[in-house]
């Protein structure tokens, strides 16, 4: 089995093997946070007719119109009403925002620039032909490609589907993710704290991160550090696409996760990433199912989730973009103990003079979950970098979707 590999190699290995899950058709009301499985083209134009952007009067403007201009009001067109007659020269229709432009009119003048007495309207400031008319299809033409396969359906994307009358869409089904926390020292929230025990926080942290990625989560109660018990639990996850485990990942006698995965029948792709925090990651594959074992240290588990698991979930979910771009940030303060290994520093993004600066959390220990609260960035400090100086430029990525 490969060991101590670079993050980039791990991503290539894992993402190269993962295939998106199957597709299904859903109502757009159920499509939020889903991934589009098929390009969507519009069957209609939007707006579907020429319309008015203002409350005012529609009429036939001509070059050299007298000022002011007297017109006869022959109809009224509220939004949602089709004009009942055409407009002849010298006539006007009182029109409201969003209403269709009547045939014969070629402009709309603002209500404020007119004065109506009886059925006579005086246009105080005549406008040029073509003024204030929203053309049919201004935003969307019939046949336009609206959204591409692999697009994560955000609220405006679902709004756009609604705007063109699309009631259902083909999406990828939500990936099913199993979540295991291992460790004889763990107890569930709600139980009294006993000597040598700690509460299981990883299941709560990772559950949210998995759901945020648009996946379904299946969590099992805490698993102790025994291979047989772990294998029994792995069997319970037969219906999942990927299983994420925390704890039991390192070199100790009780660090059994990768052995349990191998005995369960996984092909092990690698053990250990050449980075900190969260070095002892392993990945196994059994037929179409993937297993990722992360460090039990709460902050380390979150960091490696961001770096490796989130892209894997995105690939599984059918998303077009699985890895986020990185960018340069300036360090707002230094970090003394960068060490020999590549290190990802958790940092808050602060904005100074229109630039993004990274302010590293004061405590960067692998077990310190609080360091993730308010951290927006993971700053990539290369191996053998030495201490990080304030003002230094380093590459970073955003922590969440």
Ligand X SMILES: Nc1nc2c(c(=O)[nH]1)N[C@H]1C(S)=C(S)[C@@H](COP(=O)(O)OP(=O)(O)OC[C@H]3O[C@@H](n4cnc5c(N)ncnc54)[C@H](O)[C@@H]3O)O[C@H]1N2
Which spans of this chain sit near ligand X (rule: CB under 6 A)? 181, 183, 185-186, 198, 200-202, 246-251, 255, 278-280, 295-298, 300, 366-367
| Nearest in space to 148 (alpha carbons), one of 43, 26, 38, 42 | 38
> Residue 366 interacts with ligand MOO (CB under 6 A)?
yes
Nearer to ligand MOO, 8 or 167 (CB): 8
Nearer to ligand MOO, 114 or 182 (CB): 182
List the single partner that 200 binds among ligand X, ligand MOO, none, CB under 5 to 8 Å by kind.
Answer: ligand X
> Residue 279 interacts with ligand MOO (CB under 6 A)?
yes
Q: In angstroms, give the least distance from the CB of 14 to ligand MOO.
A: 18
| Nearest in space to 173 (alpha carbons), one of 241, 243, 235 | 241
Nearer to ligand X, 149 or 201 (CB): 201
Neighbours of 288 (CB within 10 A): 11
Q: In angstroms, give the least distance from the CB of 296 to ligand MOO.
A: 9
> Residue 293 interacts with ligand MOO (CB under 6 A)?
no
Q: In angstroms, give the least distance from the CB of 136 to ligand MOO.
A: 59
**Total residue count of the chain as it appears in this document:** 401
Residues 295-324 that bind ligand MOO (CB under 6 A): 295, 297, 300
Q: What is the 3-state secondary structure (H, E, C) of 120-137?
A: EEEECCCCCCCCCCECCC
HSE (CB half, 13 Å, CA atoms) of 285?
13
Neighbours of 387 (CB within 10 A): 12
List the single partner that 246 binds among ligand MOO, ligand X, none, CB under 5 to 8 Å by kind.
Answer: ligand X
CA distances from 327 to 10, 324, 344, 367 (A): 21, 10, 14, 27
Q: Which residue is nearest to ligand X (CB)?
A: 296
Whether a cis peptide bond, with omega within 30° of 0, leads into 277 is yes
> Residue 278 interacts with ligand MOO (CB under 6 A)?
yes
- Distance, in Å, from the CA atom of 60 to the CA atom of 160, rounded to the nearest integer, reads 33
List the single partner that 198 binds among ligand X, ligand MOO, none, CB under 5 to 8 Å by kind.
Answer: ligand X
Nearer to ligand X, 248 or 311 (CB): 248
Nearer to ligand X, 126 or 248 (CB): 248
Nearer to ligand MOO, 204 or 250 (CB): 250
Q: Is 395 helix (H, G, I), strand (E, B) or coil?
A: strand
Q: Which residue in the block uniquely carries the two structure tokens 């594959």? A: 285
Q: Is 400 helix (H, G, I), strand (E, B) or coil?
A: coil
Q: 230 and 166 in contact (C-beta within 8 Å)? A: no
> Residue 182 interacts with ligand MOO (CB under 6 A)?
no
Q: In angstroms, give the least distance from the CB of 247 to ligand MOO.
A: 12
- Distance, in Å, from the CA atom of 274 to the CA atom of 64, rounded to the nearest integer, reads 77
- The number of residues that bind ligand MOO (CB under 6 A) is 8
Q: Which of 150, 277, 311, 360 binds ligand MOO (CB under 6 A)?
A: 277
Q: In angstroms, give the least distance from the CB of 276 to ligand MOO.
A: 4
For ligand MOO, which stretch binds (CB under 6 A), given 181-189, 222-230, 277-285, 318-326? Answer: 277-285
DSSP of 17-83, one letter per residue? H-----EEEEEGGG-TT-BBSS-EE-SS-BSSS-B-SSSEEEE---TT--SSEEEEEEEEE-TT---
List the single partner that 150 binds among ligand MOO, ligand X, none, CB under 5 to 8 Å by kind.
Answer: none
Nearer to ligand MOO, 277 or 284 (CB): 277
Q: 11 and 111 in contact (C-beta within 8 Å)? A: no
> Residue 169 interacts with ligand MOO (CB under 6 A)?
no
List the single partner that 371 binds among ligand MOO, ligand X, none, CB under 5 to 8 Å by kind.
Answer: none
- Distance, in Å, from the CA atom of 122 to the CA atom of 115, rounded to the nearest integer, reads 5
Q: Name the site residues for ligand MOO (rule: CB under 6 A).
A: 276-279, 295, 297, 300, 366
């Amino acid at each position: 089995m490969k060991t101590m590999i670079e993050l980039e190699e791990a991503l290539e290995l894992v993402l190269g093997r993962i295939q998106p899950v199957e597709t299904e058709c859903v109502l757009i009301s159920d499509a939020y946070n889903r991934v589009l499985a098929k390009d969507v083209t519009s069957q209609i134009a939007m707006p579907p007719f020429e319309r008015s952007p203002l409350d005012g009067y529609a009429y036939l403007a001509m070059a050299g119109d007298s000022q002011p201009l007297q017109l006869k009001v022959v109809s009224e067109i509220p939004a949602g009403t089709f004009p009942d007659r055409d407009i002849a020269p010298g006539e006007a229709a009182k029109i409201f925002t969003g209403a269709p432009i009547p045939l014969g009119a070629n402009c709309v003048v603002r209500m404020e620039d007119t004065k109506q007495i009886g059925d006579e309207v005086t246009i105080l400031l005549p406008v040029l032909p073509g003024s204030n008319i929203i053309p049919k299809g201004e935003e969307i033409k019939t046949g336009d490609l609206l959204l591409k396969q692999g697009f994560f359906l955000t609220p405006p994307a679902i709004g756009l589907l609604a705007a063109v009358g699309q009631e259902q869409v083909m999406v990828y089904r939500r990936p099913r993710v199993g979540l295991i926390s291992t460790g004889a020292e763990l107890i569930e929230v709600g139980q009294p704290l006993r000597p040598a025990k700690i509460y299981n926080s990883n299941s709560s942290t990772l559950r949210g991160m998995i759901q945020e990625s648009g996946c379904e989560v299946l969590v099992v109660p805490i698993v102790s550090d025994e291979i047989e018990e772990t294998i029994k639990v792995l069997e319970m996850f037969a219906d999942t696409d990927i299983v994420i485990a925390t704890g039991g990942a390192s070199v100790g006698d009780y660090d059994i996760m990768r052995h349990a995965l191998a005995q369960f029948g996984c092909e092990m792709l690698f053990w250990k990433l050449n980075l900190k925090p969260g070095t002892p990651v392993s990945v196994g594959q059994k037929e179409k199912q993937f297993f990722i074992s992360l460090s039990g240290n709460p902050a380390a588990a979150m960091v490696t989730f961001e770096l490796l698991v989130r892209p894997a979930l995105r690939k599984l979910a059918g998303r077009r973009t699985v890895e986020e771009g990185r960018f340069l940030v300036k360090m707002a303060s230094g970090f003394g103990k960068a060490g020999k290994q590549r290190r990802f520093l958790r940092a808050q993004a602060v904005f100074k003079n229109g630039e993004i600066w990274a302010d590293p959390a004061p405590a960067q220990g692998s077990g310190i979950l609080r360091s993730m609260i308010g951290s927006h960035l993971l700053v990539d400090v290369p191996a053998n970098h030495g201490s990080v100086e304030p003002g230094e430029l380093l590459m970073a990525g955003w922590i969440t979707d």
